[in-house]
Amino acid sequence: MMKEIKIDTEYITLGQFLKLAEVIQTGGMAKWFLGEYVVFVNDEQDQRRGRKLYPGDRVNIPDFGIYLVM
């Protein structure tokens, strides 16, 4: 099941997204999380916490879920 994550800005960084989606508890955990887990943005692996996500982007984190940025 795909979870929808609504943002109120033009874009959100992958690090901010992980916190908003409640995958991590604090923004400081983003670097560690991206070093330990594989993350796919629109079916391409991307571990950059500064990666900009826009509405319509799909984030797939195996074992956590698939998310759609709204």
Please, what are the domains in the chain? 2-69 (3.10.290.10)
Please answer whether residues 58 and 42 qualify as being in contact, where contact means their C-beta atoms are separated by less than 8 angstroms: yes
pTM attached to this predicted model: 0.93
Alpha helices in 1-70 (DSSP H): 14-20, 30-36
Q: Which amino acid is at 22?
A: E
Which residues does residue 58 pair with via DSSP β-bridges, in sequence order?
Answer: 68
Q: What is the pLDDT of residues 41-61, one digit of tens each?
A: 999 999 999 999 999 999 999
Q: Using CA atoms, how far apart are residues 25 and 18, in angstroms rounded to an integer?
A: 9
By CB atoms closer than 10 A (0-12, 13-18, 19+), residue 53 is buried
Q: What is the pLDDT of residues 15-24, one digit of tens each?
A: 999 999 999 9
